[in-house]
């Protein structure tokens, strides 16, 4: 390997570790914050499928670490909407107006935090409502690489916290990422470079998820929700600035 490749791999591994840790603690956010890093290192069209490969190991590890707290019916409803829309989004990736979509998502995420603060006790969504949440997430995730913060308000409103929230959200996201990988493969977006870097970043991602699991059990539900809301605001700001 050349020095440039080694430096890129080291930088990407450090980012993958730190943001996998963040995802394990807050339940989301790693993918959203990792996308700008990967975009700088690899370019947007390469960054999106590479990020999806990284998320497979990140979400898979969170599912395993929190497997006893999963809400399986909620995951099933989510997948019902997410899988077909992830296919559609994967097909549209090469033609979508990504900057416009990012800014719209940024406005939505910041608005969600404001809404949660104004309406202190939102009505819990029904289980079938997660099919619509999955549909929006599947489409957005396939186009933008990660829209984990999009689902956060709905899982929180359903009363999930800590291990139940982290594991259920990760399992729901996993159904999207598997679908996206298959669709990207059909669309020739999974190049040899993408596959090699994705495999190389897996150890750092798994270590970050394990470290985050050790941290999350030591914080209160109130602090946990506050971390999630801070993450929503940060993700919204990143999307609005076009990063």
Spatial distance between the Cα atoms of 81 and 89, rounded to a whole number of angstroms: 12
3-state helix, strand, coil in the chain (%, to 5): 80, 0, 20
DSSP 1: -
C-alpha dist (Å) from residue 95 to 20, 92, 199: 29, 6, 27
Cβ pair 212, 21 in contact under 8 A = yes
Instruction: List CB contacts of 113: < 8 A, sequence separation 6 or more.
Output: 229, 232, 233, 236
In tens digits, the chain (243 residues) has pLDDT values of: 566 677 777 888 887 787 777 766 665 656 666 766 777 777 767 777 888 887 787 788 889 888 888 999 999 999 999 999 989 988 877 676 767 767 776 787 787 778 767 765 557 788 899 999 999 888 888 877 667 667 777 888 888 877 888 889 889 989 988 888 888 877 677 778 788 877 777 788 778 777 877 776 666 667 766 776 777 787 778 778 765
Asked whether the CA dihedral 121, 122, 128, 130 is positive or negative, the reply is: negative
Spatial distance between the Cα atoms of 151 and 153, rounded to a whole number of angstroms: 6
């Amino acid at each position: 390997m050349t020095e440039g490749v080694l430096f890129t791999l080291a930088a990407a591994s450090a980012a993958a570790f730190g943001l996998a840790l963040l995802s394990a603690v807050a339940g989301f956010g790693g993918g959203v914050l990792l996308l700008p890093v990967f975009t700088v290192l690899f370019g947007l069209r390469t960054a999106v499928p590479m990020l999806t490969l990284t998320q497979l190991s990140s979400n898979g590890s969170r599912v395993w670490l929190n497997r006893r707290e999963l809400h399986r019916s909620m995951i099933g409803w989510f997948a019902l909407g997410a899988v077909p829309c992830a296919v559609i989004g994967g097909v549209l990736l090469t033609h979508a107006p990504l900057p416009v979509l990012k800014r719209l998502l940024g406005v939505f995420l910041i608005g969600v935090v404001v809404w949660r603060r104004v309406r202190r006790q939102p009505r819990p969504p029904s289980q079938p409502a997660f099919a619509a949440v999955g549909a929006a997430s599947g489409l957005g995730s396939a186009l933008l690489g990660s829209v984990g913060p999009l689902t956060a308000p709905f899982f929180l409103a359903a009363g999930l916290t800590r291990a139940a929230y982290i594991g259920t959200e990760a399992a729901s996201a996993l159904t999207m990422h598997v679908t996206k990988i298959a669709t990207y493969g059909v669309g020739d977006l999974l190049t040899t470079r993408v596959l090699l870097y994705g495999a190389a970043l897996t150890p750092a991602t798994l270590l970050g998820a394990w470290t985050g699991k050790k941290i999350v059990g030591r914080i209160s539900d109130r602090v946990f929700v506050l971390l999630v809301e801070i993450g929503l605001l940060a993700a919204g700001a990143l999307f609005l600035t076009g990063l």
